[in-house]
Structure 1
Amino acid sequence: MADSRNFGVSMWYREVGEGPADPLVLLHAFPLNGKMFEPQLEALSADRRVVVPDFPGFGYSPRTPAQPDVGYYAGCVLGLLDRLEIPRVVLGGVSMGGYVAFECVRSFPERISGLILANTRPDPDSEEIRKTRKEMALRVAREGIGILPDLQMERLLSPHTRENDGGLAEKVRAIILENTPDGAVAALGAMRERPDSETTLGEISVPTLVIGGEDDAISSPGVMGEMAGKIRGSRHVTLTNVGHLSNLEDPEGFNGAVKEFLGGL
């Protein structure tokens, strides 16, 4: 694990593996951190460099000094690439990480050679969801990060996972509790105000893998399929009995899909 300072913020990242191919950078979901990609670090780094940052206020990264937008997080990713002297990457994002990946595509497409979009969606929040995020942010600011696991768990993990893998639920809970209340509040605000990425889909010109969960309550198979259909030449994979955290709920299926995708680049 190492530290990179971008835009006045200390941004921590995990880095494993090496190889001649473009590195793989994985952006984490809300309200987790880069630790969620532990099942991917060893599996995907046999012949490729893998870099996993923590967004500001998550994991080991200190909070952002002000209310960010998704462009701020994308700028942190670009700063990290510059700091590590990485010219081009295969960029992957889960959930919120996908929102940031869309902004990266808009801001510096020349630095992206491939794209992995998992359990995310291109449309902005509805008014109802905007209201929910605002209320959640107020509660986290008032009561602390400890309320988030119970508020989010049913939406993060599929019924199958919750019923059959209590250990994973506890792991997700522990990862959430590592993050700062300020970081969660800032991210909720950024997601609430994120732009519409529907038009961005048609502008994606690099190979793209779309991964979704059969039981994802946030980014349904229908949403993921429609999104994939708007990205030229993309491949769409739906994992069975999986909710919103596909890389954790079915690491074997997720890693297999990613390995096959990377092998074809």
Structure 2
Amino acid sequence: MDATNHNSKPPSSVPRDRSSEARTVTVDGVRQVYRVAGQGPVCLVHPGGPGVHPDYLRLPSLEKYLTMVYLHPVGSGDSGLLSDGDYSMSRYGRFAEAVLDDVGATTAYFLGHSHGGFVALQFGMNRPERLDGVILYDTAPLNGGELRETATKEMAAFVERWPNRPEAAEAGRVWDAVNVSQTFKVADNESYQRYMNAILPAYFADYRKTTQQVGQVGLRVTLDPNRLPVRWDARDRLGTINVPALVIVGTYDFICPPRFAYEMHAEMPNARLCELRESGHFGHLEESEQFTAAVVEFVHTVEKDGRA
């Protein structure tokens, strides 16, 4: 790994007013950008996607307790693209570890949301000695056709739950056009953005309620045309992840539904589960107090008891 350190100051000494500054570490000639905010134990934060920018996953309520290291995963945000298109979970993990080295932390918590949770699980298998714990937030232990088929059924249930909402019908129509009939192709940044905007209401237990409370929710995206398909399944290796784990899932999460959270909780030897009963895929917005409390309690328990 070719890693160039641009700032090796320990994270505990990073003042809050510098949280808007981007930091960069170069890995194999590729730019990896991240931002730091907060105080306390270090926590890597890997957003979902792939290709979704990290803006939506800012967690100021946790910055009171943790030094949050917000990753811009390669292929998204301000980070570079991978010329070979190899966006495997292990490859993402290499970049995350380079950031961990760059902030000067030996170990950290790893909060992975959705696709970021895939990376967190893989990191837990590859580099458990670098982890204090993993926070698997609205994610699943697999990626590929089976997950997409499950999400298609959950999308249909979402549309049925809101029969009088045009945005629900539109979300279902666009999902099917891309993932079932394949009559609409996501081929560039513009079409990817249109697709995500159309299906976004399905990511919430009650989209209208959430937007009334927190304002309009949006996602920015990047589509790398060189990105190779990734089929990934860690279900037969969950039992090898022995670091403390917190599994968080929203009852109405359509893209990574609760059954996968319960499967991870059952198979991982040192895991606890938190189900957010009034959330979909974005519990940090839908039930922010409960989400924060679950993470803080988990971290406090691990810090008190020491690493298992």
CA distance in 1: counterparts of 2:277 and 2:283, whole angstroms:
9
Structure 1 position 170 matched with structure 2 position 216: yes
SS in 1 for 2:76: coil
User: Residue 197 of structure 1: which of 234, 251, 255 is its match?
Assistant: 234
Identify the residue that residue 192 of structure 2 maps to in structure 1.
145
Question: Match of 2:216, as an amino acid?
Answer: E
CA distance in 2: counterparts of 1:15 and 1:8, whole angstroms:
22
Identify the residue that residue 223 of structure 1 maps to in structure 2.
260
TM-score scaled by structure 1? Answer: 0.84
Shift in CA distance, 29/139, structure 1 to aligned 2, threshold 3 Å = same
Shift in CA distance, 15/152, structure 1 to aligned 2, threshold 3 Å = same
Identify the residue that residue 56 of structure 2 maps to in structure 1.
36
Identify the residue that residue 111 of structure 2 maps to in structure 1.
92
Shift in CA distance, 3/137, structure 1 to aligned 2, threshold 3 Å = farther
Question: Match of 1:254, as an amino acid?
Answer: F
Larger relative contact order (Cα-Cα within 8 Å, sequence gap ≥ 6) = 1
Question: How many correspondences in the alignment?
Answer: 249
Q: Residue by residue, what CA displacement relative to the aligned partner does 1:192-237 show, whole Å, maximum 9, x if unpaired?
A: 5232111221011111100000101122222211221111131101
More helix by share: 1
Q: Residue by residue, what CA displacement relative to the aligned partner does 1:46-87 show, whole Å, maximum 9, x if unpaired?
A: 243210111112222232222122221111111111222221
State whether residues 70 and 194 of structure 1, in contact with CA within 8 Å, keep that contact through their aligned partners in structure 2: no
Shift in CA distance, 231/128, structure 1 to aligned 2, threshold 3 Å = closer
Structure 1 position 260 matched with structure 2 position 297: yes
Identify the residue that residue 212 of structure 1 maps to in structure 2.
249
SS in 2 for 1:87: coil
State whether residues 81 and 224 of structure 2, in contact with CA within 8 Å, keep that contact through their aligned partners in structure 1: yes
Identify the residue that residue 15 of structure 1 maps to in structure 2.
36
The CA RMSD measured in Å over matched residues stands at 2.6
* Gapped regions of structure 1 (runs ≥ 5): none
Larger Rg, first or second structure (1 or 2)? 2
TM-score scaled by structure 2? Answer: 0.73
SS in 2 for 1:228: helix
Structure 1 position 60 matched with structure 2 position 106: no
- Mapping of residues 119-158 of structure 1, within 5 Å: 119-126=138-145, 129=148, 132=179, 138-141=185-188, 143-158=190-205
State whether residues 37 and 67 of structure 2, in contact with CA within 8 Å, keep that contact through their aligned partners in structure 1: yes
Question: Match of 1:152, as an amino acid?
Answer: I
State whether residues 53 and 76 of structure 2, in contact with CA within 8 Å, keep that contact through their aligned partners in structure 1: yes
Identify the residue that residue 130 of structure 2 maps to in structure 1.
111
* Gapped regions of structure 2 (runs ≥ 5): 1-21, 150-177, 303-308
The sequence identity of aligned pairs, in percent, is 24
Shift in CA distance, 142/57, structure 1 to aligned 2, threshold 3 Å = closer
| CA shift for structure 1 position 118 | 0.9
CA distance in 2: counterparts of 1:139 and 1:88, whole angstroms:
38
| CA shift for structure 1 position 45 | 2.3
CA distance in 2: counterparts of 1:49 and 1:138, whole angstroms:
40
State whether residues 189 and 222 of structure 2, in contact with CA within 8 Å, keep that contact through their aligned partners in structure 1: no
| CA shift for structure 1 position 124 | 3.6
CA distance in 2: counterparts of 1:212 and 1:163, whole angstroms:
20
